[in-house]
Structure 1
Amino acid sequence: MDDADARGFTEFVRARSEALMRYGYVLTGNPHDAADLTQEALARLGSAWSRVRRRDDPEGYVRTTMARLHVSWWRRRRHERLVGEVPEREHLDPGYARADGDGGLWRALAGLPRRQRTVLVLRYYEHRDDEEIARLLGISRGTVRSQAARGLDKLRAVWLPGADDSGSGSGAEGGSGSGAGAGSAQTTPEMTRRKR
């Protein structure tokens, strides 16, 4: 990497690392894993900076790398069983506090199974379609839809405790959807209108 590339890469990292850390937190639900994921993705970007920078979308490259790394880590870890671990008091920096300032959506997402959380993040945070999500995760489009519906049902149960979650519909079509906004205890209109 020449000096101009090194300066460009350093500027990119300074400008975008906080947002990428928040994205990693949304994917993983854990600030420590988010930091590892971001660091690994930025290291890979550093190796490919001169090629990626010419495409004018280094952030897209990093976010795609992060999603793929998360899936790889999830596949490796899904069979691990931890025992005898002492609970650790988490320390969240101000970036995470801002991401969690909406009344607990990120905490609710963190409570979902990894695959459901990953599908919802890729669909609603990254605005990826079902086909692309299926390709990234190595699953069928039907599995993407069912994981999204189950994840949304679980989020509704947390956010709208009195909501009917008896399975009427696919889960993504139902719900009130009448309000969206930070701190709202309602499903966003985008989540209720999403066509699969």
Structure 2
Amino acid sequence: MAHSGEVLEFEEYVRTRQDALLRSARRLVPDPVDAQDLLQTALVRTYGRWDGIADKRLADAYLRRVMINTRTEWWRARKLEEVPTEQLPESAVDDASEQHADRALLMDVMKVLAPKQRSVVVLRHWEQMSTEETAAALGMSAGTVKSTLHRALARLREELEKRQRDELVAGALDRREERERCAA
């Protein structure tokens, strides 16, 4: 059971860090509601272990690790429930600005990565953690972080190139159909 001083300390930590932690959760799961659920679940789990975190400066790393583990648990559970379909649903892209479209595309492309790869990309590129910090947060060696990041970035490039090719082909087919309609 936490003492009242620890409860106040945890509440202050959450109050000061919640925006940054929610951004981390949002990068780990694309849906904003799921990101809030992920953060809340991680906070509950962290609260139960708060007194065990001797150096509170490491609380962010601890909490991010809890979020990654929780997201992985959810992914494994969901994976068993998913049923493949022939057609993918159309993805909605916010066309308010090019930046939003790029972000939506990147979040969509990140879905092709395995949870471990996604975690490494998020921590290294969004959270701007060093290789060593990422390795410590994920419980792996620095070499594994580097090789996982290399494979993940290659997979992202491959997916982006594939999507670009698909768009070019679709555009060419649309123009061809338009010419045929005009000629008829």
Return the TM-score normalized by structure 2.
0.62
Q: Tell me how many residue pairs correspond in the alignment.
A: 146
- Runs (4+) of structure 1 exceeding 6 A deviation are none
> Contact 1:27–1:70 at 8 Å: present in 2 too?
yes
> Contact 2:113–2:155 at 8 Å: present in 1 too?
no
Which 10-residue stretch deviates more, 70-79 or 59-68?
70-79
Q: Which residue in the other structure is 1:4 paired with? A: 5
Task: Decide which structure has the larger Cα Rg and report it.
Answer: 2
Aligned mate of 1:129, from 114, 131, 141 = 131
Q: Which residue in the other structure is 2:18 paired with? A: 17
How far apart are 1:50 and its partner, in Å? Answer: 1.6
> Contact 1:26–1:106 at 8 Å: present in 2 too?
no
> Contact 1:28–1:70 at 8 Å: present in 2 too?
yes
Change (3 A) 1:49 1:103: same
Determine whether 1:104 maps to 2:97.
no
Q: Partner amino acid for 2:80? A: H
- Higher fraction of helix: 2
How far apart are 1:80 and its partner, in Å? Answer: 2.5
**Alpha-carbon separation, structure 2, partners of 1:63 and 1:101:** 29
Aligned mate of 1:149, from 145, 154, 165 = 154
SS at match of 1:135: coil
How far apart are 1:59 and its partner, in Å? Answer: 1.2
Q: Which residue in the other structure is 1:166 paired with? A: none
Return the TM-score normalized by structure 1.
0.58
How far apart are 1:75 and its partner, in Å? Answer: 2.5
Q: Please, what is the CA RMSD of the aligned residues?
A: 3.6
**Alpha-carbon separation, structure 2, partners of 1:69 and 1:157:** 31
Change (3 A) 1:18 1:101: farther
> Contact 1:28–1:34 at 8 Å: present in 2 too?
yes
**Alpha-carbon separation, structure 2, partners of 1:41 and 1:135:** 20
What stretches of structure 2 of length at least 5 have no aligned partner? 166-184
